[in-house]
Structure 1
């Protein structure tokens, strides 16, 4: 069961990057609650709508996940993501055209499960790293 939950978390992270949400009903409960620096959602429908803004925004994606399952069944996934911005990306009410920039992000996701699906998640990563990588902030 622990291995299945790790696979589910990895699939959720892949969806978050690609925006491809086919199978979201297999990964998230209908009433999933989630938070990250870039979004807050209170249902699977809200999550799918948020992720739709990312479809085709990135390519050449390399995701590595080192996950641990806690005694209470929570999954803690430390991840590293490398991707290239090759398609339009919606940020709030604006659309950022492709920059061709290669970006590296690191973060952690905590997922709480109900049965085989994620019922709650929190993602922690530095949004400034993404904005800087996209050229929207000066390099530090």
Structure 2
């Protein structure tokens, strides 16, 4: 039996290797993954999410820089996410942003709740405006009524 932290480290390594099978092996089949842009449930939806990230950022890399050491469950990590936007990226409104070639560096934190040696719930937090502004997008005024 591995520790909760071993599992979280395995997840980070699998993401950095863009190894979808190893990523999914870290999650329970009915896991829930909460992101700023929505809630994903189960392996199929979680796989789709990671496929989109790997397609949009061919060199996506997570660098952990803080782990909440006195807490075992949930395991809480702060990351820096870096990558180059080399492929299409689905935006929250359903449009697709074609590759911009821009580099991103986004701060993120996540908490993962583990049961039976698998991640049951994963909550990821990052500033979407930080990401989208680095991709060249900007805020506009409110939509017309």
Do Structure 1 and Structure 2 share a fold, with TM-score over 0.5? yes
Give the greater-gyration-radius structure (CA): 2
Give yes or no for contact 1:39–1:50 (8 Å, CA) kept in 2. no
Equivalence for 1:73:
73
Matched ranges for 1:32-111 at <5 A: 32-65=31-64, 66-92=66-92, 93-111=94-112
- Cα distance change on mapping 1:40 and 1:111 into 2, 3 Å: same
Deviation at 1:52, TM superposition (A): 2.5
- C-alpha distance in 1 between matches for 2:54 and 2:71: 35
Match of 1:132 in 2: 133
Unpaired segments ≥5 residues, structure 2: 140-145
In the superposition, the TM-score normalised over structure 2's length comes to 0.79
CA distance in 2, matches of 1:60, 1:95: 19
Unpaired segments ≥5 residues, structure 1: none
The answer for the alignment partner of 2:143 in structure 1 is none
Q: Which residue of 1 aligns with 2:142?
A: none
Contact 2:4 2:114 (C-alpha < 8 Å) held by counterparts: no
Q: How far apart are residue 9 of structure 1 and its match? A: 4.0
1:32: how far off? Answer: 0.5
More strand by share: 1
Aligned length: 135
Cα RMSD (Å)? 2.4
What TM-score results when the alignment is normalised by the length of structure 1? 0.81
